[in-house]
Chains A and B, each alone.
Chain A
């Protein structure tokens, strides 16, 4: 089955996390400086991009016209939705846009229990990965737990900061949360298509409600909206907003490639060495439901026979 553009973007970002993790672990275990890690990351990204684009290029050359027609049909879908339900479409888009602007500019970060930006600044200042204590900037007396050192997000943000010149607080508290929020809406866009196939109006309405649930639901640290609006750069926000809803969707649709990507991405962004991770638990429960249903069907068939 061909993947949609949003699926490509979601899975592409999860693959990006995986590639960044590979570069990060190489630099961590070989004690390479951050700038070398950054170049390894860039090379891996370029190679992955080439690997992704080349089949598309080959297809375009061999069956160019047909592909073009398909692309036009895909692009027309959003325009069609806008033409059919302009008010609903505009309200939903405006709300999401407001949240993105709010996330980028107006909200205050929730830093309790988190040292991501300190770690990014330490990496940039020391040009190394966990060479000094991020909390003090001084040399380690004993060290840092390995389960934290293997997490990729601080290194990825440090690389982004060093290439773009954007300050670490702005990158982590402003830009990254916007990207995570946007990807989260792409995931819920896929949920809308799964729950209400070929019902454009319901799909847009679903996204509107998802945006409102995020907006009104950020009253507790355990809510997804809170994680995305006040700590969108954290691994837990990536897990709550992207990985968990996407892994559940993929498991329900039996898209095992997506499931594996999510399981691996979770290991890269949050502490899963304590337990096997939430994505694995989600998939396990879906498989359990399926298993029980199959057994009950068989038992019923036996009874009938």
Chain B
């Protein structure tokens, strides 16, 4: 039970920690209930019941069972007619404010000028836009804007590497590269083959395949990313680098890509000099590419 409540809390936080549209939704719904002339009662009832179902832990558990626990709680929020309710309440609020203004003017026996009414309407719209902005965001997800993307929607640094590869139209090429390059390899071209897929470091993607990887793939992944912790130093570390390079050559990996700073590391550089299977092929600002000779 404690576990389930923690799960609910975390999922709820994912919806509310960066914006307050859920709170705005509740206020909007309250407004729609307070307005007696609102004709679409069924819509209002639906939105209310859905909100209650999504907030009550028992109904959440039932809804999660309904989707056989496959999707998370945060996915269930798609059921809430957020956009329709918020927009409807905003329009209703603007119209109520202008009607109220006209009624107030006529109560004071003052003439209601169309121009002044329009100014009130514009002010009401501006206030609601400001409210939406304050409850939401203009910078969607920070991680999204960190990379520069080229015209083909690929990160520029990575696209630069792919543009240098000589990809055979018939057989394709085998590539071993750090995660940030390998992640985009098969998006760039279906003719680039990888020893392991994105699911090795993105566990969510295991849902897409029944295939599993052997332990050596994990080691290869850590090695190319420079995170392989062997605990060995000096000669022994150099021998390990050489063994992995030899393994890559025997497996037929056509290209090896390393981060430039990793390539300048002593062990890898020496291992590269001691072997003849891979030759220096090209370099970009961030990566160094070797090709199978």
Contact = CB atoms under 8 A, between A and B. Distances in A.
B102 interface: no
A275 B66 contact: yes
A281 B189 CA distance: 39
Given A135-B194, A188-B87, A205-B125, 19 more contacts: A110-B144, A117-B187, A118-B198, A121-B187, A137-B190, A142-B212, A202-B91, A206-B87, A210-B83, A216-B136, A218-B136, A218-B141, A221-B14, A223-B15, A226-B140, A230-B144, A252-B40, A274-B71, A278-B78
Contact of A285 (B49, B172, B188, B192): B49
A125 B17 CA distance: 42
Interface in B68-107: 68, 70-71, 74-75, 77-79, 81-84, 86-88, 90-91, 94-95
Nearest to A244: B78
A300 B55 CA distance: 31
A200 interface: no
Contacts of B153: 108-109, 169-170, 173-174
B79 A282 contact: yes
Nearest to A115: B208
A154 to B, nearest CB: 11
Contacts, number: 242
Given A145-B210, A223-B21, A285-B49, A216 B137 contact: yes
Given A112-B204, A216-B133, A135 B70 contact: no
B83 A252 contact: no
Contacts of A142: 209-212
A169 B209 contact: no
A252 B137 contact: no
Interface string A114-149: 010110011111100000011111101111110010
A208 B126 CA distance: 12
Contacts of B138: 215-216
A285 B50 contact: yes
Nearest to B149: A108
B140 A230 contact: yes
8 contacts: A125-B190, A169-B152, A191-B88, A205-B90, A213-B132, A221-B14, A275-B67, A290-B42
Contacts of A108: 144-145, 147, 149, 153
A153 interface: no
A61 interface: no
B18 interface: yes
B195 interface: yes
Given A125-B189, A222-B77, A274-B67, A137 B172 contact: yes
Contacts of A207: 87
B8 interface: no
A174 to B, nearest CB: 6
Contacts of A136: 186, 193-197
A92 to B, nearest CB: 11
B7 interface: no
A206 B42 CA distance: 19
Interface in B169-213: 172, 183, 186-199, 202, 204-205, 207-212
Interface of A: 107-113, 115, 117-118, 121-126, 133-138, 140-145, 148, 167-170, 173-174, 188, 191, 194-196, 202, 205-210, 212-224, 226, 229-230, 236, 239-240, 244-245, 248, 252, 271, 274-276, 278, 281-282, 285-286, 288-290
Interface residues of B, number: 80
Given A144-B210, A214-B83, A217-B82, A113 B19 contact: no
**Which of A145, A217, A281 is the most central at the interface, judged by chain B CB atoms within 10 Å of its CB?**
A217
Nearest to A148: B208
B186 A122 contact: yes
A220 B19 contact: yes
A268 B19 CA distance: 32
Given A133-B197, A137-B186, A148-B208, A223 B43 contact: no
Interface in B41-58: 42-43, 45-46, 49-50, 53
Nearest to A114: B205
Contact of B42 (A113, A188, A289): A289
Contacts of B207: 145, 148
A240 B87 CA distance: 16
B75 to A, nearest CB: 7
A102 to B, nearest CB: 11
B79 A244 contact: yes
8 closest A-B pairs by beta carbon, nearest first, are: A135-B197, A125-B190, A216-B136, A275-B67, A274-B70, A121-B190, A209-B87, A173-B153
Contacts of A141: 211-212
A285 B46 CA distance: 7
A170 B152 CA distance: 5
B43 A216 contact: no
